[in-house]
């Protein structure tokens, strides 16, 4: 006599093997949430290690303490060299008595955001900010460069309530001219002609041989002529931005 339990087990095995295969229900993958672009997130990595900059910029601010300025220039080494490089004679001619230079060499947008938030320059109460930043964001996409520039504009407006911002197109350079030109197309619409204004300075820096008008031999920084071009274009815009004296 066949054992009833053995017969039942054999029948169940045959029944299971005869059923159609069913694919397992896939487990949904965890959603990947992209963070904000690095170009928009404040970073101290170009300031905290630069003790020499901290010292001489601290001295510069101390000399200006208690004063108010019409203008503040915000940016990287191209801005920084207004006050000691090829731009110095032009600075003295146009801006020495009415502007503060807030430039730092090698700054990317994220570094400028950090400095605006952590170096107290609000007491200088400028009425207009001239922002030229982004040329060092070479690893970033044009979209992220433009996003970084927007974040600098927004941080500038937070730092100086009521300020008007002149955002300058990123100038041509030998490292990434096409990328910067693409970024400029995205930066230009940031201007609303109410609180933010676009100055297409790059259009004035036309090709000359293997370089551009107004640029030095490194094809990145400005000559005295380049700073004079910048000053001329900005001066033409300022009367409608600054209150009449």
165, 197 Cβ separation under 8 angstroms? yes
Rg of the chain on CA atoms, in Å: 29
Q: Which helix (H) or strand (E) segment is 53 a member of?
A: helix 51-64
Encode the chain (245 residues) as per-residue pLDDT tens digits.
Answer: 444 433 444 334 434 344 444 445 554 554 556 799 999 999 999 999 999 989 988 999 999 999 999 999 999 999 999 999 999 999 999 999 999 999 999 999 999 999 999 999 999 999 999 999 999 999 999 999 999 999 999 999 999 999 999 999 999 999 999 999 999 999 999 999 999 999 999 999 999 999 999 999 999 999 999 999 999 999 999 999 997 66
pTM (2 d.p.): 0.86
CATH architecture of structural domain 38-240: 3-Layer(aba) Sandwich (3.40)
Distance in angstroms (rounded) separating the CA atoms of residues 108 and 103: 11
Distance in angstroms (rounded) separating the CA atoms of residues 245 and 243: 6
């Amino acid at each position: 006599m066949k054992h009833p339990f053995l017969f039942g087990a054999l029948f169940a095995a045959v029944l299971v093997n005869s059923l159609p295969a069913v694919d397992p229900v896939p487990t949904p993958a965890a959603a990947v949430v992209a963070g904000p672009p690095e170009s928009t997130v404040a970073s101290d990595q170009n300031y905290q290690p630069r003790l020499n900059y901290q010292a001489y910029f601290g001295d510069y601010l101390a000399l200006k303490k208690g004063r108010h300025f019409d203008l503040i220039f915000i940016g990287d080494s191209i801005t920084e060299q207004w006050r000691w490089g090829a731009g110095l004679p032009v600075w003295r001619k146009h801006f020495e008595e009415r502007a503060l230079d807030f430039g730092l060499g090698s700054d990317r947008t994220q570094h400028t955001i950090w400095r605006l938030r952590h170096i107290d320059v609000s007491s200088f109460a400028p009425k207009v900010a001239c922002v030229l930043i982004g040329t060092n964001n070479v690893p970033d996409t044009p979209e992220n460069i433009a996003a970084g520039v927007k974040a600098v504009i927004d941080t500038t407006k937070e730092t100086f309530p009521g300020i008007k911002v002149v955002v300058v197109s990123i100038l041509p350079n030998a490292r990434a001219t096409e990328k910067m030109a693409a970024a400029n197309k995205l930066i230009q619409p940031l201007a609303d002609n109410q609180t933010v204004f676009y100055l297409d300075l790059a259009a004035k820096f036309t090709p000359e041989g293997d370089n551009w008008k107004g640029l030095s031999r490194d094809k990145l920084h400005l000559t005295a002529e380049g700073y004079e071009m910048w000053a001329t274009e900005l001066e033409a815009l300022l009367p409608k931005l600054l209150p009449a004296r």
